[in-house]
């Protein structure tokens, strides 16, 4: 089995990628500075009957050259999830977002090129599309980033594309659309809406929506994002150098999202409407046909099933 590196592997999406790889019998190295990732996210229970790979954890920051080189040593496939993933946080501290997301990716690309890594899969974001009214979002559309976070992710995409064209490093990018699921942190000041809404409603509190609630998102259960990562790691050479939408291809308003979560808890809590946040886009919807064609990506878990699984996980945390 090939050695896989998962950067940010103790984080929300990264830990799910790590768990899936281990369950398939792969050896996995995780590098994480634990600024947002948590050790408890790596406390998996190996299946009794399935093969289970070995896990190595390297504490450290990929913006550090020595850490990046150590992380990729002997690695065949990189799955780069490390980032500061918040638009509001990037507005408050744009330099930190740039360092983690753009500089960190460049540092890792350099180390991967020198180490002879075979495939470099990296996480980008739907935020690179900006607030264009054109829906659905297709990969060939112009990028119009509204926030420092979106700019940092677009910078990482451009670096990866250049490393494929100039150095022959096989990169594949994934533009995530509002990924949610177990292990997502609802306590952060910058928490994503799904865990935020679930925990508020589970505790009998009215959830807060920034804006009028009619804004729409293409919510994507985390196992779909894991599927996309593994598909990108294994796809043919024709897909290399591309960037692909990872979503369900359906959109729902935040008001509807609140209603669906209320239904899961037998509640009827009306949201509190607050002022919109700078950098947020109004509407988001993905065209996933290119990912289906190039990566054979097809979302297996829809919104309602994903919400039910996520709510069940958070109930255990109450």
- Residues designated as active site: 149
Which residues on neighbouring strands pair with residue 30, listed in sequence order? 6, 57
In three-state secondary structure terms, 13 is helix
Which residues on neighbouring strands pair with residue 175, listed in sequence order? 124, 245
- Confirm if 207 and 274 have CB atoms less than 8 A apart: no
Residue 100 CA to residue 123 CA, distance in Å, equals 13
Which residues on neighbouring strands pair with residue 221, listed in sequence order? 180
Of 82, 91, 73, whose CA–CA distance to 14 is shortest? Answer: 82
Residue 292 CA to residue 83 CA, distance in Å, equals 26
Q: Is the dihedral of CA 235, 13, 112, 21 positive or negative?
A: negative
Of 261, 154, 156, 136, whose CA–CA distance to 205 is shortest? Answer: 261
Q: What is the phi/psi pair of residue 135, to 5°?
A: -130, 145
- Confirm if 284 and 178 have CB atoms less than 8 A apart: yes
First-to-last alpha carbon distance for the chain, in angstroms, is 39
Computed over its alpha carbons, how large is the radius of gyration of the chain? 19
Residue 216 CA to residue 299 CA, distance in Å, equals 19
CB atoms within 10 A of CB 259: 14
Residue 277 CA to residue 209 CA, distance in Å, equals 10
């Amino acid at each position: 089995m090939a050695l896989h590196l998962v950067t940010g592997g103790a984080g929300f999406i990264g830990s799910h990628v790590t768990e899936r790889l281990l369950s398939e019998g792969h050896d996995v190295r995780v590098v994480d500075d634990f600024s947002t990732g948590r050790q408890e996210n790596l406390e998996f229970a190996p299946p009794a009957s399935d093969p289970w790979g070995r896990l190595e954890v390297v504490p450290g920051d990929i913006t550090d050259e020595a850490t990046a080189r150590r992380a990729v040593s002997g690695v065949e496939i990189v799955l780069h999830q490390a980032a500061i993933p918040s638009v509001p946080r990037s507005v408050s501290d744009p330099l930190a977002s740039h360092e983690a997301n753009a500089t960190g990716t460049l540092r890792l690309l350099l180390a991967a090129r020198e180490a002879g890594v075979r495939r470099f899969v990296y996480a980008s974001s739907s935020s690179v599309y900006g607030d264009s009214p054109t829906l659905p979002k297709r990969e060939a559309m112009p990028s119009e980033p509204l926030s420092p976070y979106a700019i940092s992710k677009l910078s990482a995409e451009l670096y990866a594309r250049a490393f494929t064209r100039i150095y022959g490093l096989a990169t594949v990018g994934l533009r995530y659309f509002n990924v949610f699921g177990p292990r997502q942190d609802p306590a952060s000041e910058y928490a994503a809406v799904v865990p935020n809404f679930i925990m508020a409603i589970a505790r009998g509190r009215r959830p807060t929506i920034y804006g009028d609630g009619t804004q729409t998102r293409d919510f994507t259960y985390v196992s779909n994002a894991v599927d996309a990562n593994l598909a990108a790691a294994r796809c043919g050479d024709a897909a290399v150098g591309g960037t692909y939408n990872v979503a369900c291809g359906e959109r729902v308003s935040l008001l509807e999202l609140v209603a669906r979560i209320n239904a899961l808890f037998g509640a009827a809590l009306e949201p509190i409407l607050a002022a919109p946040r700078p950098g947020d886009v109004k509407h988001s919807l993905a065209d996933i046909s290119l990912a289906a064609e190039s990566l054979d990506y097809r979302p297996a878990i829809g919104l309602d099933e994903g919400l039910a699984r996520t709510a069940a996980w958070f109930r255990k945390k109450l």
